[in-house]
């Protein structure tokens, strides 16, 4: 219940960032690709195995700097059940390395189906009397368009098993305003209304740092809305995509944090995974380049906030 575990890890490492592991095969250095493509051919299986080696090496290098990873489900589904196996193994490996794992799946459904998603990603699946984790992440991103029926099954597991969710509120993309910025009859924009629902859904799960188990996704690309929502949603922790590659600068993130430098975790994906390409270093140095980038990102962001 609540995001206390994640927040403690953020305080311990003095680093409110998360690395998105969204690995396309083309991000994986050629020498790793060759290991498997030569053995298994140009197959989904070979690609999925290469991606696991890539993820593992990055986790080895960053786990003492960064509190969390955020694997994006889409990039694993692309490789079919082989990719999903890599997702399972990546989550397990990150947890073994003491990292907090947020599966970015933006899942949404109702009733028994939402229970199935909850069991899959955060809870356990029952086979006979045997209860097993299918993925076993610590948190999941979700889409709240279906209302409380889509959130309640998640909350049950958040309360019992110390897990959390991030609901899409104001996303980082250009067209996010098409629906999210429209104003309701009373003048409230839809994204703010969705934010209010997050406060309501999380109300009975507030932890010792003041944040509930129900967080919100709010893009770095709209700094004024990030600051506005920080004020409006005092118990809702933010997951902030859009830093770096999508154009959100570090100073603009400031408004997403509270006076203690808490209340937000900022994601970077491609800039970390492909740091070796940007640096133009030897591809065998990709994991060290990722480490250099996460340290740079940490220092870039923490200079503007008051995290002790």
The active-site residue out of 89, 106, 277, 288 is: 106
Closest CA to 121 of 99, 145, 108, 140: 140
Dist. CA 142–CA 139, nearest whole Å: 10
| Choice between 10 and 158, CB closer to its own copies | 158
Shortest approach of its own copies to residue 180 CB, angstroms? Answer: 7
Residue located via tokens 């220092």? 299
Contact between 300 and 250 under an 8 Å Cβ cutoff? The reply is yes
The Cβ-side half-sphere exposure at 217, using a 13 Å CA radius, reads 25
Dist. CA 87–CA 104, nearest whole Å: 11
Local structure of residue 21 (DSSP, 8 states):
E
Shortest approach of its own copies to residue 94 CB, angstroms? Answer: 16
Burial of 295 (0-12, 13-18, 19+ CB in 10 A): middle
Dihedral, CA of residue 150, residue 156, residue 161 and residue 166, to nearest 10: 30
| Choice between 96 and 182, CB closer to its own copies | 182
Element (H, E) at 105: strand 100-107
3-class DSSP assignment, residue 233: coil
Neighbouring CB atoms inside 10 A of 54's CB total 24
Shortest approach of its own copies to residue 13 CB, angstroms? Answer: 26
| Choice between 223 and 241, CB closer to its own copies | 241
Alpha helix (H) residue ranges in 63-107: 73-77, 80-96
| Choice between 99 and 167, CB closer to its own copies | 167
| Distances 165 to 20, 107, 162, 245 between C-alpha atoms, Å | 16, 10, 11, 24
Shortest approach of its own copies to residue 191 CB, angstroms? Answer: 10
Residue partners of 177: CB distance under 8 A and separation at least 6: none
Q: Is 106 tagged catalytic?
A: yes
Element (H, E) at 142: strand 139-142
| Choice between 106 and 232, CB closer to its own copies | 106
Shortest approach of its own copies to residue 150 CB, angstroms? Answer: 7
Shortest approach of its own copies to residue 246 CB, angstroms? Answer: 9
| Choice between 56 and 260, CB closer to its own copies | 56
Shortest approach of its own copies to residue 14 CB, angstroms? Answer: 29
| Choice between 6 and 48, CB closer to its own copies | 48
Active-site positions read 106
């Amino acid at each position: 219940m609540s995001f206390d575990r994640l927040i403690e890890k953020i305080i311990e490492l003095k680093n409110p960032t998360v690395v998105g592991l969204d690995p396309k095969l083309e991000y994986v250095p050629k020498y790793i690709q060759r290991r498997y493509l030569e053995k298994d051919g140009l197959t989904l299986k070979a690609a999925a195995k290469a991606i696991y080696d890539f993820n593992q090496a990055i986790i080895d290098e960053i786990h003492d700097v960064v509190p969390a990873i955020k694997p994006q489900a889409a990039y694993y589904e692309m490789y079919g059940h082989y990719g999903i196996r890599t997702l399972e193994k990546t989550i397990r490996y990150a947890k073994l390395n003491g990292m907090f794992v947020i599966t970015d799946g933006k899942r949404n459904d109702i009733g028994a189906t939402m229970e199935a998603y909850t069991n899959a990603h955060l809870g356990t699946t029952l086979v006979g009397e045997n209860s097993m984790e299918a993925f076993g992440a610590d948190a999941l991103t979700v889409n709240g368009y279906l209302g409380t029926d889509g959130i309640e099954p998640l909350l049950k597991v958040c309360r019992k098993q110390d897990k959390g969710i991030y609901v899409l509120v104001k996303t980082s993309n250009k067209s996010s305003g098409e629906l999210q910025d429209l104003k309701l009859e009373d003048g409230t924009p839809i994204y703010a209304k969705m934010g209010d629902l997050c406060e309501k859904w999380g109300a009975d799960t507030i932890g010792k740092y003041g944040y509930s188990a129900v967080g919100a996704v709010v893009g770095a690309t709209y700094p004024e809305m990030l600051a506005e929502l920080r004020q409006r949603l005092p118990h809702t922790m933010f997951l902030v995509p859009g830093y770096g590659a999508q154009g959100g600068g570090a100073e603009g993130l400031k408004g997403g944090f509270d006076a203690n430098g808490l209340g937000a975790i900022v994601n970077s994906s491609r800039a970390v995974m492909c740091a070796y390409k940007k640096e133009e270093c030897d591809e065998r140095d990709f994991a060290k380049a990722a480490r250099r980038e996460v340290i740079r990102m940490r220092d870039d962001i923490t200079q503007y906030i008051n995290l002790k």
